[in-house]
Chain A
Amino acid sequence: MGTSVQVTPLCGVYNENPLSYLVSIDGFNFLLDCGWTDHFDPSLLDPLSRVAASVDAVLLSHSDTLHLGALPYAMKQLGLSAPVFSTIPVHRLGLLTLYDHYFSRKQVSEFDLFTLDDVDSAFQNVTALAYSQNHHMSGKGEGIVISPHEAGRLLGGTIWKITKDGEDVIYAVDFNHRKERHLNGTVLESFVRPAVLITDAYNALNSQPARRQRDQEFIDTILRTLKGDGSVLLPVDTAGRILELILILEQCWGQLHLTYPIYFLTNVSSSTIDYVKSFLEWMSDSIAKSFENSRDNSFLLKHVKLLISKAELENVPDGPKVVLSSMASLEAGFSHDIFIEWAADVKNLVLFTERGQFGTLARMLQSDPPPKAVKVTLSKRVPLVGEELAAYEEEQERIKKEEALKATLIKEEESKAAVGADIPVGDPMAVDGNSSHVESDAAFPSGNAYRDILIDGFVSPSTSVAPMFPFYENSSEWDDFGEVINPDDYVIKEEDMEHASMAVDGDLDGKFDEGAASLILDMKPSKVVSSELTVQVKSSLSYMDFEGRSDGRSVKSILGHVAPLKLVLVHGSAEATEHLKQYCLKHVCPYVYAPQIDETIDVTSDLCAYKVQLSEKLMSNVRFKKLGDYEIAWVDAEVGKTENDMLSLLPLSTPAPPHKSVLVGDIKMPDFKQFLESKGIQVEFAGVGAMRCGEHVTLRKVGDASQKGGGATIQQIVIEGPLSEEYYMIRNYLYSQFYSL
């Protein structure tokens, strides 16, 4: 029997909720994606919380919240502890996406679902893979091989192929078959006849205009607003589709020599672009080629300026501008604030490039007709003053005292060891030990304050226990003139300062929003002040599909081509799911499933299979015929056993019984028509699937293979005509299209 495969959706079926599915392969549990919405509603994760502990490996497919948002929370609160696999860009950009979400949320609420530390530790478990890298699972999953493949849509976007015993389970959601500026299209079509394909129905009812036309419209709309002295707000994601938009704008601004400023504003915009610059090998051929030939990195941006705080945006000169800002949902983040400011001006334009998540402000604004006014909550983090501050400080004082007491105890022990411990930590690459000492020390005093935001790869010094300045027992000696001074102490301190400030700059990925972020990070007493207000939406609103997902028609044709033996549909509105299910039942394969949440379906293939050895004797008599990638032959053999009890096939001892001959080949009527014409026979199409050849002979094709996804039935071709030479001639030509076995 084949490999046992069960699929249990945990979230995101029959609706557009985030994606999260449990796939169990011979008892080894894969969690495919671990998504969350921009609302961060913990109730969505209930099904996940029930199974989190039994997950053996997590596979991430894209770097947006819908695919990996819940990872830190699940790791921290739900008991998920399995190793995580993703491509390098998904790892890096996913991390940045969650940072951005954290900062945006923290700005406006007492966000406590996860901290930056949780994000860091969740992503520390990630094993980064390259496309088409075969990773062999070990232990419980012995024999399972996973490999990521290009999915298109987002940088590093992945289709996962899980293989056991030659049977493929493919998880392909949110793929894009179209080649774009920064990405190649998906390679999904190169997989043929997998045992199970899990895919989404998100775009089953969607159709898209041609790319060129859409791009042109996009640019036109933006320019119209700019020329009318208005500004354009594009609410975008942190590190996903934004890259494509940036390239479109860069290219257009370069071609038309436009001078309107473009700003890319997220909490992590500069590090996003820095990382992206080093991911060229994951991008499209044209980007790779331009770099190879002229060392021209497409993400060395000439027109787009990177901002990481709202204050920076406020400092730029007034006038029409384009702002790309994060949180596509407009629920929080800079885009939310900018929207509130700009919505009242008729000249402005809010241009959505993706469908808003369900129940968000963006979704509301995308409805038709758009609302005239929306209620929003304007929240702000402000420092505490007056009585509140006093109360807070009192509380903090008390906590501090307790902590200090604890810390001194620990410190005392550690400070003894500290002197010795510092040097081995030093950089092993250093030419002289001197500099290493400085470096490892340097990050220490200032690093503490920023512990929460240390980027991945930075190891916090072993001596840092709590966010406080290092405390050393004052064991100074006194002489007649007072405390004995060692001048060296002061020299080193100066050097320390220099290095420290450098280290901090780097660790921070540049500077965060000085005002508000420092409130978050420095733990200065602050609170969130919210006020409800109604915003008159006077600015124009527009939606253009830059989601980069294949449209309904392409999805269908791709599914038809891949022709899985069993198909599981997830993610997509109930309507779309049902539509695609009916389509696939008719045209792709007879086994189409669309399970509900928590419903476990068994997609174990009912394939029977056994292995045999092909003996030399048998093989020496087999004559293969070559057909494309395949070589094919008819064998008649007798079953025998080898020494180690394997079944083996030996040549028959008696003459082989005759068998019904098999015609192998795929005939396309238009191609055959051309072929016959080249042989000088008059051919014309006559009615559906029929072709009149010569005078009297008719050729009809009854079962059409291409329509039924690789052929649910065998092709039936009917040739009829009166007894004539022509008949036999055409029959011979027809035979020549096939291999007879």
Chain B
Amino acid sequence: MASTVQPTSSLKRRDSMPTRESDQLTITPLGAGSEVGRSCVYMTFKGKTVLFDCGIHPAYSGMAALPYFDEIDPSKIDVLLITHFHLDHAASLPYFLEKTTFKGRVFMTHATKAIYKLLLTDYVKVSKVSVEDMLFDEQDILRSMDKIEVIDFHQTLEVNGIRFWCYTAGHVLGAAMFMVDIAGVRVLYTGDFSREEDRHLRAAELPQFSPDICIIESTYGVQLQQSRSVREKRFTDVIHSTVAQGGRVLIPAFALGRAQELLLILDEYWANHPELHNIPIYYASPLAKRCMAVYQTYINSMNERIRNQFATSNPFMFKHISPLKSIDNFDDVGPSVVMASPGGLQSGLSRQLFDKWCGDKKNSCLIPGYVVEGTLAKTIINEPKEVQLMNGLTAPLNMQVHYISFSAHADYAQTSTFLKELMPPNIILVHGEANEMGRLKQKLISLFADRNTKIMSPKNCQSVEMHFNSEKMAKTIGKLAEKTPEVGEAVSGLLVKKGFSYQIMASEDLHVFSQLSTANVMQRISIPYTGAFGVIKHRLKQIYESVESSTDDESGVPTLRVHDKVTVKQESEKHVSLHWSADPISDMVSDSVVALVLNASREMPKVVVESEPVKDEVEDEKKAEKIINAILVSLFGDVKLGENGKLVITVDGNVAHLDKQSGDVESENAGLKERVRMAFQRIQTAVKPIPLSAS
């Protein structure tokens, strides 16, 4: 198994080469290669193609936000798997489904599909870009809903020989890790995952089988997260102290997913602290409200804790949190806590509030999750003195900025234990900022130093190629397998391939073991013939070695059987009929018999010369030799007669000696040797008479 990272080269060009099933597995990130955002990983193996995720880059807009779809031929993709509903994993899906040549099948989990629609519809409404920059509209989303199929956790599906199933990934509701199995080679794509159980989600599962390749996220690189309880305490402490001093707390968060977790924390904290009850918490997202039905329905994909809570009351019906429609409805008097989207402070309500509050040092901004490079949220984490407002002015940044991550990505501890337990021989890092990824790669290399583990971190459009020599195994079944053959015996039968499994069987068994059926075509043709039946018999005997005469059991008419294949019957004074079962050789024999009968009836009166055809074997041999020579010359060019009757064939300086009697070939060059042997065998088969008796 060798793997190489190739410099950027178009996959399209390679695809145009003859698509012979190869052992080469290629993985190419079209997005999220050494970056965070627009997750999209392309994989192809044995002529099957899978695309994982289809996101956009939140920091860019329009076409620039898309993964590098130009690198691939969308029509060749068999299966597209979406891990979860976040924009950087799913938002280019409507574009990909509606505006490209993609015609494969798309899968995601039930919860993901339900939220996907709400989220993207909202995204289209919120993103204020020019019409040309719009990647898709609401109609495209609706149409894409019809094409998306659902998969349940652990459900195994097979499309076109690609088998795949998914595991719980933690991260957000409905998030999945996909395991794909093509011809026995397993690839695990984690998407975003978290191995820590939180208030409502289960931790990511550890797959039952170890994959051959693990494509894993590296968002947090080598960072270690504090334990959840510590982070929750910091979170609530910051909020509590800020509001206690009369300040305002802004929590810029993505509308769905992690926000629900934060709301659960806040609601519970408020419930336990009656002194805070007069301080309002606002949650500015009508979208989240709409998604509540989804959260209430798919409780089966959440953890035990939340399911037990459902028994008493719905934990997602918050008691201390009120919705906020827009900044106009917001009565900004006194301390308050506002959670608003977007999480990166690019625009929208969270940015409006930030602009308003950033000057006051009593206020706090709490960044609760991973922030993407290039957004304001990322900038203010470094606490600059000044920031640029939306209206272009600069303002001093006095408000306190806290960064407490709840983003449910695996940290180094989780990633390394996950990989240690899984022990994949190949690890491909995606979805991480280049520097973090580099550090993670180094650390993993030293961690797995004693094993032959390959760790790669390709950039976008850089292909990783691996070779898997999968042994092809076949199962011989049915009549053909009644006796297990010894070495050297011949086995002949039908090789039936379905998906990636092979079976060898006798042709009679085909309909037993597959849905295919075989047929016999019996042919019956009647030829006008008025002459004596004996004439035909005589003529046939001249041509064919085996002609048996008998009488038909039913009608009692005389019959002739030629080589046990074709039966000639004298139906009446005026007709003979031919019976045979279709088969290339029998068809040929029957054609010659037909010709013979027609001839015989035309040349009726002619007296046949009784002369035993002299079989000139020597003559035949010479003729055959001439033909063989001629064909070999036409194939290889330079063919000479060498010593002791061997033929010397020279091609591009390579010499092969061919023994015409035995068919043995001697050559230094293995390729040439094989070709000459093959060619000679075929020529011989063609030149020699057809053995009619075989069946």
Q: Identify the A interface with B (CB < 8 A).
A: 88, 129-134, 136, 147, 166, 192-193, 277-281, 288, 291-293, 295, 297, 427, 429-432, 434-435, 455, 457-458, 502-503, 505-507, 509, 565, 607-614, 619, 622, 624, 627-641, 647, 649, 652, 655-667, 705, 710-711, 714-723, 727, 731, 734-735, 738, 740-741
Whether A134 contacts B156 in the complex (CB less than 8 A), given A295-B293, A612-B476, A634-B495, comes out as yes
Query: Which of B123-131, B447-455, B477-485 contacts its partner?
Result: B477-485
Residue of B nearest to A561 (CB): B515
Q: Are A278 and B495 in contact (CB under 8 A)?
A: no
Q: Are A611 and B300 in contact (CB under 8 A)?
A: no
Number of A-B contacts (CB under 8 A): 294
A190 CB to nearest chain B CB (Å): 10
Q: Mark B401-415, 1 if CB is under 8 A from A, else 0.
A: 000000000000000
Question: Which of chain B's residues have a CB closer than 8 A to the CB of A629?
Answer: 498-499, 515
Q: Are B519 and A717 in contact (CB under 8 A)?
A: yes
Q: How far is the CA of A652 from the CA of B496 in the complex (A)?
A: 19
Q: Are A705 and B511 in contact (CB under 8 A)?
A: yes
Q: Are A193 and B514 in contact (CB under 8 A)?
A: yes
Partner of B492 from A88, A292, A458, A636 at Cβ < 8 Å = A636
Q: How far is the CA of A133 from the CA of B683 in the complex (A)?
A: 53
Q: How far is the CA of A147 from the CA of B163 in the complex (A)?
A: 15
Residue of A nearest to B575 (CB): A722
Question: Which of chain A's residues have a CB closer than 8 A to the CB of B479?
Answer: 608
Tell me if B694 is interfacial: C-beta within 8 Å of chain A: yes
8 closest Cβ pairs, A-B complex: A506-B312, A720-B524, A133-B154, A608-B481, A662-B507, A614-B472, A715-B519, A506-B311
Q: Are B487 and A663 in contact (CB under 8 A)?
A: no
Q: How far is the CA of A710 from the CA of B293 in the complex (A)?
A: 47
Q: Are B473 and A614 in contact (CB under 8 A)?
A: yes
Known: A506-B312, A609-B478, A638-B489. 18 other contacts (CB 8 A): A280-B110, A608-B478, A612-B504, A613-B474, A614-B474, A629-B499, A629-B515, A630-B496, A631-B496, A639-B490, A655-B685, A657-B490, A658-B694, A661-B583, A716-B519, A722-B525, A722-B528, A723-B594
Q: Are B522 and A666 in contact (CB under 8 A)?
A: no
Q: Are B690 and A611 in contact (CB under 8 A)?
A: no
Partner of B584 from A131, A611, A661, A731 at Cβ < 8 Å = A661
Q: Mark B162-191, 1 if CB is under 8 A from A, else 0.
A: 000100000000000000000000000000
Whether A639 contacts B493 in the complex (CB less than 8 A), given A619-B472, A649-B474, comes out as no
Tell me if B508 is interfacial: C-beta within 8 Å of chain A: yes
Q: How far is the CA of A288 from the CA of B502 in the complex (A)?
A: 37
B23 CB to nearest chain A CB (Å): 10
Tell me if B206 is interfacial: C-beta within 8 Å of chain A: no
Query: Which of B64-72, B265-273, B364-372, B538-546 contacts its partner?
Result: B265-273
Residue of B nearest to A723 (CB): B527
Tell me if B513 is interfacial: C-beta within 8 Å of chain A: yes
Q: Are B582 and A638 in contact (CB under 8 A)?
A: no
Question: Which of chain A's residues have a CB closer than 8 A to the CB of B233?
Answer: 431
Q: Are B154 and A503 in contact (CB under 8 A)?
A: no
Q: How far is the CA of A291 from the CA of B150 in the complex (A)?
A: 13
Q: Which of B153, B477, B519 has the most CB of A within 10 A?
A: B519
Q: How far is the CA of A481 from the CA of B482 in the complex (A)?
A: 100
A622 CB to nearest chain B CB (Å): 6
Q: Are A608 and B482 in contact (CB under 8 A)?
A: yes
Question: Which of chain A's residues have a CB closer than 8 A to the CB of B521?
Answer: 663, 717-719, 731, 734-735, 738
Residue of A nearest to B155 (CB): A132
Tell me if B530 is interfacial: C-beta within 8 Å of chain A: no
Q: Are B300 and A657 in contact (CB under 8 A)?
A: no
Whether A292 contacts B473 in the complex (CB less than 8 A), given A130-B153, A720-B525, comes out as no
Question: Which of chain A's residues have a CB closer than 8 A to the CB of B487?
Answer: 639-641, 647
Tell me if B145 is interfacial: C-beta within 8 Å of chain A: yes
Q: Mark B74-118, 1 if CB is under 8 A from A, else 0.
A: 000000000000000000000000000000000000100110011
Residue of B nearest to A145 (CB): B156
A279 CB to nearest chain B CB (Å): 7
Q: How far is the CA of A246 from the CA of B472 in the complex (A)?
A: 53
Q: Are B517 and A431 in contact (CB under 8 A)?
A: no
B582 CB to nearest chain A CB (Å): 7
**Interface of B, helix, strand, loop or mixed by DSSP:** mixed
Q: Mark B369-388, 1 if CB is under 8 A from A, else 0.
A: 00000000000000000000
Q: Are A292 and B474 in contact (CB under 8 A)?
A: no
**Interface of A, helix, strand, loop or mixed by DSSP:** mixed
Question: Which of chain B's residues have a CB closer than 8 A to the CB of A719?
Answer: 521-524
Whether A663 contacts B497 in the complex (CB less than 8 A), given A129-B154, A429-B199, A639-B490, comes out as no
Q: Are A634 and B494 in contact (CB under 8 A)?
A: yes
B500 CB to nearest chain A CB (Å): 11
Q: Are A718 and B492 in contact (CB under 8 A)?
A: no
Question: Which of chain A's residues have a CB closer than 8 A to the CB of B157?
Answer: 132
Q: Are B585 and A88 in contact (CB under 8 A)?
A: no
Tell me if B140 is interfacial: C-beta within 8 Å of chain A: no
Tell me if B510 is interfacial: C-beta within 8 Å of chain A: yes
Question: Which of chain A's residues have a CB closer than 8 A to the CB of B485?
Answer: 639, 647
Whether A663 contacts B518 in the complex (CB less than 8 A), given A610-B484, A613-B473, comes out as yes
Q: Are A634 and B517 in contact (CB under 8 A)?
A: no
B521 CB to nearest chain A CB (Å): 5
Question: Which of chain B's residues have a CB closer than 8 A to the CB of A280?
Answer: 110, 297-298
Q: How far is the CA of A509 from the CA of B488 in the complex (A)?
A: 72
Question: Which of chain B's residues have a CB closer than 8 A to the CB of A277?
Answer: 297
Q: Mark B270-300, 1 if CB is under 8 A from A, else 0.
A: 0010000000000000000010011011111
Query: Which of B301-309, B420-428, B612-620 contacts its partner?
Result: B301-309
Residue of A nearest to B674 (CB): A617
Q: How far is the CA of A610 from the CA of B691 in the complex (A)?
A: 31
Question: Which of chain A's residues have a CB closer than 8 A to the CB of B685?
Answer: 655
Whether A166 contacts B475 in the complex (CB less than 8 A), given A630-B496, A638-B490, A740-B584, comes out as yes
Q: How far is the CA of A579 from the CA of B293 in the complex (A)?
A: 50
Question: Which of chain B's residues have a CB closer than 8 A to the CB of A131?
Answer: 152, 155
Whether A656 contacts B492 in the complex (CB less than 8 A), given A193-B515, A610-B475, A624-B497, comes out as yes
Whether A665 contacts B517 in the complex (CB less than 8 A), given A133-B156, A297-B293, A711-B511, comes out as yes
Q: How far is the CA of A293 from the CA of B142 in the complex (A)?
A: 8
Q: How far is the CA of A660 from the CA of B691 in the complex (A)?
A: 12
Tell me if B2 is interfacial: C-beta within 8 Å of chain A: no
Q: Are A662 and B299 in contact (CB under 8 A)?
A: no
Q: Are A503 and B150 in contact (CB under 8 A)?
A: no
12 interchain pairs (CB within 8 A)?
A193-B515, A278-B296, A281-B152, A295-B293, A431-B233, A502-B312, A614-B473, A628-B515, A640-B488, A641-B487, A652-B490, A718-B522
Question: Which of chain A's residues have a CB closer than 8 A to the CB of B523?
Answer: 718-720, 731
Q: Which of A628, A636, A714 has the most CB of B within 10 A?
A: A714
Q: Are B311 and A288 in contact (CB under 8 A)?
A: no
Q: How far is the CA of A614 from the CA of B491 in the complex (A)?
A: 12
Question: Which of chain A's residues have a CB closer than 8 A to the CB of B504?
Answer: 612, 635, 649
Q: Are B515 and A718 in contact (CB under 8 A)?
A: no
Question: Which of chain B's residues have a CB closer than 8 A to the CB of A503?
Answer: 312
Q: Which of A427, A503, A722 has the most CB of B within 10 A?
A: A722
Q: How far is the CA of A734 from the CA of B681 in the complex (A)?
A: 32
Residue of B nearest to A193 (CB): B513
Q: Are B272 and A635 in contact (CB under 8 A)?
A: no
Residue of B nearest to A430 (CB): B268
Q: How far is the CA of A279 from the CA of B296 in the complex (A)?
A: 11
Tell me if B549 is interfacial: C-beta within 8 Å of chain A: no
Q: How far is the CA of A657 from the CA of B311 in the complex (A)?
A: 74
Q: Are B526 and A631 in contact (CB under 8 A)?
A: no
Q: Are B145 and A637 in contact (CB under 8 A)?
A: no
Question: Which of chain B's residues have a CB closer than 8 A to the CB of A507?
Answer: 311
B227 CB to nearest chain A CB (Å): 11
Residue of A nearest to B142 (CB): A293
Q: Are B232 and A715 in contact (CB under 8 A)?
A: no
Whether A660 contacts B583 in the complex (CB less than 8 A), given A281-B150, A434-B272, comes out as yes
Question: Which of chain B's residues have a CB closer than 8 A to the CB of A716?
Answer: 519-520, 522
Q: Are A723 and B494 in contact (CB under 8 A)?
A: no
Question: Which of chain A's residues have a CB closer than 8 A to the CB of B594?
Answer: 723
